[in-house]
Amino acid sequence: MNYDCIIIGGGIAGLTCGIKCLKEGLSCAVISSGMSALHFSSGSIDVFGYDEQSRPVDNPFNYIEKFTALHGHHPYAKCGPDNIKEALFFFKDALAEEGLELHHNSNENHFIISTLGILKPSFFSQRSVYNEEIGGVFGKKSKIAFLNFDGYRDFYPDITIANLKKNALFKDTDFISGNILFPDYGSIKKNPFEFRSVDIARIFDTSRYLEDIAKQIKNKAAHADIVCFPAFIGISNFKKHHEALQELTGKLIYEIPALPPSLPGMRIDNALKSRFASLGGVFIAGDRVISGVIKNGMLENVRTANNMNEVLKSHCYVLASGSFFSGGMTSDSASIREPVFNLRVEYSPNRGDWASDKLFDKNSHKFIEYGVETNDSMNPFGADGSSISNMFCAGAILPHYNPVKDACGSGVAISTGYCAAKNIVNRIKGSKDRK
């Protein structure tokens, strides 16, 4: 099987890269081992959230220009400011083509509310998390209701409210908390083990109980301007149900990204995969690349766990296999490795530097900034120290950035995935021109 491009990793970086490659007319396969980190994400896209003093950033693009001038190793510096913006709006358009709209506050960040009632800066959000109307309600004298579904154990409205009250932005806000009862709860209750956002989303997707739920919302949150509950207004019919609920209640309906599996993240995952497939991409799920042959500074082929006696070949390869969580990197007590190709990894040899003593350290942990070292074209270096010219790295496997501290994870994934695709297109078209 031969492709123009094989992408290792089916997360946000790999799929963005794949969609861009396909749009440029290349043939492309993604090899993905298990579902991606989108299932554990907020479903909002962070570009740059906090500055070096941990203060929220207003305009992430202006900040990135200043920041990358001082930090040339940061993946954003390798992309360049124009590519970052181009990549993010390319991503937005790709999702829009699948019916998933992303909203943003022109060039500024907006805040999203976490399950614990903390405000987090982000750039793109789904319509139930940020839009102009929602932006108008927060920070004014308003009434906000936090409701939960009876029996759902991953959300506690009173905790959310208690934390929000500490925030100056909400000093003039009245809060209501309460529970609503799911009309079909009887049949779910038979199973005491699983009552998660996805169970509720599936019931929403049947469209059967919208009117009943709307009535309960109106009762419990009579004078509220905006009603918030955990994100579970459906997976496939999310847009339709969000509109219907707003219409039936006459209130703004806000979704709080809940504990994993994350519905907003799954919506993005579905849309990306669907876009990738409809452009003719081949998505190989549940398989792992276990080895590859590197010769003369080029990756020649790869082998996967499922098909040991056949090699997969392509002109270019993208390594978007994620960080430690996804198995893109592994560690033992003394070293950190990239396990498939044994690429050069940037990390401190001093074990004590890897992590802070405090779990929730404001400066996060150093190990999050470790990853596969690349040159400015994002080519990694092999075990012999020479760069691999037809291989490109994207997403969380890259070093020198801290998605936890800076709130820039998905922005880096999208930008580097997009830039990897552009580099591949240039390389393949260049070699055709020479011929």
* Interface ranges with another protein (CB under 8 A): 1-2, 29, 33-37, 39-40, 187-188, 190-191, 193-194, 196, 198-199, 202, 260-261, 266, 277, 282, 284-288, 304, 306-310, 325-327
CA torsion angle 112 114 117 121 (round to 10): -40
CB of 262 to another protein, least distance (A): 10
CB of 304 to another protein, least distance (A): 7
H/E segment holding residue 158:
helix 157-165
CA dihedral over 365, 342, 306, 1, signed as positive or negative: positive
Q: Count CA atoms closer than 13 A to 109's CA, side-chain side.
A: 27
Q: Which residues fall within 8 angstroms of residue 234, CB to CB, at 6 or more apart? A: 201, 204, 205, 240, 241, 242
CB of 284 to another protein, least distance (A): 5
Q: What is the 3-state secondary structure (H, E, C) of 296-328?
A: CCEEEEEEECCCCCCCEEEEEEEECCCCCCCCC
Q: Please classify residue 296 by burial: count the beta carbons closer than 10 Å to its beta carbon, then call 0-12 exposed, 13-18 middle and 19+ buried.
A: exposed
Question: Quick one: 53 or 187, whose CB is closer to another protein?
Answer: 187
> How do strand 345-346 and strand 371-372 relate by DSSP bridges?
antiparallel
Beta bridge partners of 111: 121
CB of 174 to another protein, least distance (A): 35
Do 196 and 154 form a contact (C-beta atoms < 8 A)? yes
Question: Quick one: 166 or 189, whose CB is closer to another protein?
Answer: 189
Question: Quick one: 82 or 194, whose CB is closer to another protein?
Answer: 194
Do 420 and 413 form a contact (C-beta atoms < 8 A)? no
Distance, CA of 48 to CA of 25 (rounded, Å): 31
CB of 372 to another protein, least distance (A): 19
Do 98 and 91 form a contact (C-beta atoms < 8 A)? no
Distance, CA of 169 to CA of 34 (rounded, Å): 40
CB of 47 to another protein, least distance (A): 25
Question: Quick one: 196 or 275, whose CB is closer to another protein?
Answer: 196
Question: Quick one: 41 or 173, whose CB is closer to another protein?
Answer: 41
| Helix residue ranges per DSSP H, 308-401 | none
**DSSP assigned state of 225:** S
CB of 145 to another protein, least distance (A): 28
Question: Quick one: 57 or 318, whose CB is closer to another protein?
Answer: 318
Distance, CA of 143 to CA of 225 (rounded, Å): 6
Distance, CA of 73 to CA of 374 (rounded, Å): 9
Beta bridge partners of 147: 178
What is the three-class DSSP state of 166?
coil
CB of 131 to another protein, least distance (A): 27
Do 404 and 2 form a contact (C-beta atoms < 8 A)? no
CB of 376 to another protein, least distance (A): 31
Beta bridge partners of 338: none
Q: Give CA separation, 13 vs 48, 102, 106, 216, 239, in Å.
A: 16, 17, 24, 41, 25
